Chain A
Amino acid sequence: MNVEKFYYDNETPKLFAYATVFWGVIALLVGLIVAFDIYNPSWSLGIPYLTFGRIRPLHTNAAIFAFVGNAIFAGVYYSLQRISKARMFSDVLSKINFWGWQLIIIAAAITLPLGITTSKEYAELEWPIDIAIAVVWVAFGINMIGTLVKRREKHIYVAAWFYIATFVTVAVLHIGNSIELPVSFWKSYPVYAGVQDALVQWWYGHNAVAFFLTTPFLGLMYYFLPKAANRPIFSYRLSILHFWSLIFIYIWAGPHHLLYTALPNWAQSLGTVFSIMLWMPSWGGMFNGLFTLRGAWDRVRDDPILKFMVVAVTAYGMSTFEGPMLALKNVNALAHYTDWIPAHVHVGTLGWNGFMTFGMLYWMLPKLFRTNLYSKKLANAHFWIGTLGIVMWVIPMWWAGITQSLMWKEFTEIGLLKYPNFLETVLQIVPMYVIRSIGGTLYFTGLLILVYNLYKTVRVGSFEKNEAVEAPPRDKTKEVLKWGMIHRYLESKAILFTMLTLFAILIGGFVEVVPTYLIKSNIPTIESVKPYTPLELQGRDIYIREACNSCHSQMVRPFRSEVERYGEYSKAGEFVYDHPFLWGSKRTGPDLHRVGGKYANMWHYLHFQDPNQMSPGSLMPRYTWLLEWDIDVESTPAKISAMRTLGVPYPEGYEDQCIADLEAQAQEISEDLLDSGILTEPNKDVIALIAYLQRLGTDIKANKSDETQK
């Protein structure tokens, strides 16, 4: 038989595996810090770079893009070569992919604590890093599709379809959501504003979960689970059905993040319906994974790798049941803005992504090093400690979310809010936060056991950078298109397959995003809504820098309990100058959309100095540096000019006058503070932030609701 000799590149998957472990430790450590920070605000030590607001995005980015991202690459670089019977297309691209990705992570780890952020969840990185991500991602895509084109195996195995879908969709999402206008090297404004910006962001956010945390891991499942179990996948036909329905439906479901907002009703319903439909292919995938182990369940008892994978797939099943349930409007009304959402997300990341990654690493590294795992016992210990950690993370947060939401909504017999003080509802769930941080500590401990176990494994093994392999060349005889063989024909055409995948996700994306473009001309202009003053604009950028939106929403939903607590519900037309939107997604503190005019300037000043002075027991950290740092006045003209380019109606030539206006308004606020006995210079950050907060929601503020919250 005619065979060709070639070499697998083992170096790249090894490096990515090491990076996965390294960044996994960092991501979880940062997660632990925020878990403790949230109920010990003094733990940030008065250091701006360690507050919950700034560190939380660091944790999410590290977990998603550093830990899970490197795990994806490790798994793809290992499995793709083997199911294609070919070396990766280009060693140079592999190196660019690896080192480029690590540099991006380092850039994120530096910029996020510094407050350099776009404020858009899971897309916080500023524009120069966004461009780097696009370049590295394309390098990965070319490398992958190049490998598929020169493969020796005739058919493209199902794992690779999921990899293709991942590459194509993440590219579309990342570019679509990152269209922004740079103001300076580290500052930009998104071209979309308000409602439109929110729609694009959650089209991105939802599908980033779908195509970064789900599809690549399904690909890994379809390769590593059969490998670890040493038996083929339960049903190949089911995998075809699973693949096409999943990628087709997923992209439509994004609107469920915006229930009760400005989205038209039909689009909200579409989001809900597709979310429920999504349950079926998701569970199809889960059963395909679990049934692969039919007749081999006895092995699950002894084999920690299979244990990790079984729990991972089960966690996938759990979170994909929970997702559609949360997309129901009545459940969403209860769960949105509460700790239920982090609980839902962590079933996915800790259970599905984390455990699948651990299973993969325990299987792959011994293979790469031609040895056995150092200790099965330790891996088993890791499994049990990790599982307990997940349980202790998730259950208290479900509990906390439901408890707090019910408290927000509870009225007394005479029709007043039973818990008018928001803080009361927070203090109620602090014990749950404590249990959660213990759960996180357990999960982290499990990871440290993995580090030790893999270190011992790698030390005794012998690694082969380039593994020699022989395989016959691809059978180039033409595939004939005939009934019943169409999918196999497709599988033999890598580029055609990629195009069809792109087409499938674009249809859904199109239907979801088109309303976004229609909205612009259809949001009724509210006459009284005016652009921010230069000082307020600077204050808004400080709000973004400090990531206040990590804990405070700016979206009063049209419920009696919210109108009663916060004031008039939010209108689409109020956000037309908000580049970016700052609706937030979690209320660790109260909503701020109607905070303008509610408290005196002095109240805010003292609250930033030490929140406990105004609300004893508050979980908000002190923001003393705001009282000391100077407003970046010099950047104002560039910001005004950028905003005008984006359509905010500042008059021509306002750049020359804006600094004077800014100083005048700042002077006013500092004089008012002086009247209350607070001596401060007008050029401090706190003045700008107060100006912004006092402006919030006042453009159309209804008088009647002014006093309800006092």
Chain B
Amino acid sequence: MFSSYLSAIDGIEVFPIISLIIFVTVFLIVLIRVFAMDKKSAVEAANIPLKDEILTTKSESKNG
């Protein structure tokens, strides 16, 4: 319908191409990093939420 109004803007067709390039680049960088990641540190990080209870000291508190 009225989508043709914008086709007249100079250089507009470069937008989707830039978008695609930016996305693919970022995605590949993240992908490579993730695969190159040190496995031990990943396991360690994944366990962060499970470690917290060990640290809680018993009954002491400062209830106000």
Contact = CB atoms under 8 A, between A and B. Distances in A.
A593 to B, nearest CB: 13
B54 to A, nearest CB: 10
Which of B7, B18, B27, B48 has the largest count of A CB atoms less than 10 A from its CB?
B48
B16 A270 contact: yes
B34 to A, nearest CB: 5
A460 interface: no
Contacts of A248: 23, 26-27
A515 B5 CA distance: 11
Contacts, number: 156
A144 B60 CA distance: 26
Contact of B55 (A7, A85, A223, A227): A85
Contact of A466 (B37, B41, B49, B63): B63
A260 B42 CA distance: 45
Contacts of B60: 468
Given A270-B16, A465-B64, A262 B2 contact: yes
Interface residues of A, number: 71
B31 to A, nearest CB: 7
Contacts of A157: 45, 48-49
Interface stretch (A232-240, A385-393, A663-671): A232-240
Interface string B20-64: 001100110011011111100111011111101001110011111
A79 B18 CA distance: 38
Given A85-B52, A487-B34, A518-B6, A558 B42 contact: no
Contacts of A263: 3, 6
A244 B36 CA distance: 16
Identify whether the interface residues of B are mostly helix, strand, loop, or mixed. Answer: helix
Contacts of B42: 235-237
A515 B6 contact: yes
B49 A159 contact: yes
Interface stretch (A51-59, A293-301, A519-527, A608-616): A519-527
A487 B5 contact: no
A464 B6 contact: no
Contact of B34 (A237, A249, A260, A571): A237
A557 B50 CA distance: 53
A511 B6 contact: no
A483 B15 CA distance: 33
A264 interface: yes
B19 A270 contact: yes
Nearest to B27: A245
A253 to B, nearest CB: 12
A237 B37 contact: yes
Q: Which of A233, A236, A252, A524 has the most CB of B within 10 A?
A: A236
B5 A262 contact: yes
Nearest to A514: B15
Contacts of A240: 30, 33-34, 37
B62 A7 contact: yes
A235 B42 CA distance: 8
Contacts of A487: 33-34, 37
A263 B33 CA distance: 37
Contact of A468 (B2, B12, B27, B61): B61
Nearest to B39: A237
A265 B4 CA distance: 8
A504 B29 CA distance: 13
B19 A484 contact: no
Given A466-B62, A486-B33, A252 B26 contact: no
A572 B2 contact: yes
A523 B37 contact: no
A558 B62 contact: no
Given A232-B47, A262-B1, A522-B6, 9 more contacts: A5-B57, A153-B48, A265-B7, A266-B12, A270-B15, A467-B56, A471-B55, A504-B26, A511-B19
Interface of A: 5, 7, 79, 82-83, 85, 153, 155, 157-159, 222-223, 226-227, 230-233, 235-238, 240-241, 244-245, 248-249, 252, 260, 262-270, 464-471, 483-488, 491, 504, 507, 511, 514-515, 518-519, 522-524, 557-558, 569, 571-573
7 contacts: A5-B57, A83-B48, A266-B15, A484-B38, A515-B15, A522-B9, A571-B2
